[in-house]
Structure 1
């Protein structure tokens, strides 16, 4: 089967990944350089790119119950705010897709699956933050939707190296292919 990959970049937004983040994700800064490299590769090959962003209503009416109190005290990813935007280093270009989500998985309540299928994509390459939450749920759902799934290990991050590595191992054990940024160009050339 011929592979048609798409790049999914998860939650690399100002409120989580910038140096001025209101709700900073430890490890986010470390994945910016690998993600810019991946983005360049996919742009060069004119492959589909999806920037997945968490967006919430200003009143927090769409926030998960277990994050509601945190949102009340420190709102994050509020629709229309600078904090909800993709960080400058990864700003989407015309023709790249921006998918808004309100839950951890990029597939729940979004048009992602429909758009991937319409574009003929059968393989997703995933990077971003955070490995045990939004990255992991997106990866598990991609597998459930029958996409070949590649996690770029050095382009994903978590609060600690141990948390990241445990989750990467768990994903590998369900059949997710784990590559590093350096392996993506040869993989793309071999497909």
Structure 2
């Protein structure tokens, strides 16, 4: 993480004094890596930071599969009649259920046995079965990837923390519409709720992990 001046101020106030650390039973969570946010044909899908984050996540996805670590996806999608779009301050109702915009991005396409969970609001946990999927498998560590860093990723990190999971964020594997909001939010969650780490450090943890096959 950067912003060393701000980090010193936070540390003086008592933030970021310890690491969360890795647990023994991780899961990989991919938040909203879908065509709506990675495909050039959509207004929200033209951002290079998010495209790069999806590409970087592919390496961790391959390692998770190699180690039989659970992989869970979320995607957003809405009814045609807008009953479920809530009070977003952006027009998001065009991501309709069953549309191309709702499909998982090609860089990180799911395989059989990897659940793709529909959500409506920022957190991967809110109104979904994600918590049940994790607790059923006695997961203790959630590795959060996805988009956007300041929105759905941040909300998912906070809920993961709130539910008692060790929460790890590979820095290169999350993306936002702007670098400033990406950096600021990673700085903040790293000081409070999660370990924000280089992707290679997370990859090394996965490579060293000894697991027994887990299926969802």
Q: Deviations over 1:121-158 (max 9, x none)?
A: 11000111000000000000000000000011101011
Alignment of 1:5-44 (within 5 A): 5-24=26-45, 26=47, 27-44=49-66
Aligned to 1:134: 152
Determine if contact 1:15/1:76 at 8 Å carries over to the other structure. Answer: no
Distance verdict in 2 for CA 1:156–1:150, change over 3 Å = same
**Conserved 8 A contact 1:14-1:82:** yes
Of the candidates 122, 125, 146, which is equivalent to residue 107 of structure 1?
Answer: 125
Task: Select the residue among 74, 81, 91 that pairs with 1:70.
Answer: 91
* Alignment partner, residue 5 of structure 2: none
Unaligned runs of 5+ in 2: 1-21, 210-216
Please say if 1:156 is aligned against 2:169: no
Determine the structure 1 residue equivalent to 2:77: 55
Any idea what SS the aligned residue of 1:65 has?
coil
Q: Find the aligned partners of 2:33 and 2:23 in 1 and give their Cα distance.
A: 30
Give the whole-Å Cα distance in 1 for the aligned partners of 2:88 and 2:30: 24
| CA distance in structure 2 between the partners assigned to 1:79 and 1:120 by the alignment | 30
Gaps of 5+ in 1: none
Alpha carbons of 1:90 and 1:76: their partners in 2 closer, same or farther (altered >3 Å)?
farther
The Cα of 1:81 is off from its aligned counterpart by 0.6
Of structures 1 and 2, the larger Rg is shown by 2
Alignment RMSD? 1.7
TM-score (norm 2): 0.81
After TM superposition, the score normalised by the length of structure 1 is: 0.91
**Match of 1:4?**
25
Aligned mate of 2:186, from 147, 168, 177: 168
C-alpha contact (below 8 Å) 1:8/1:124 kept by paired residues: yes
Structure 1 stretches of 4+ moved >4 Å: none
Structure with the higher fraction of residues in strand conformation = 1
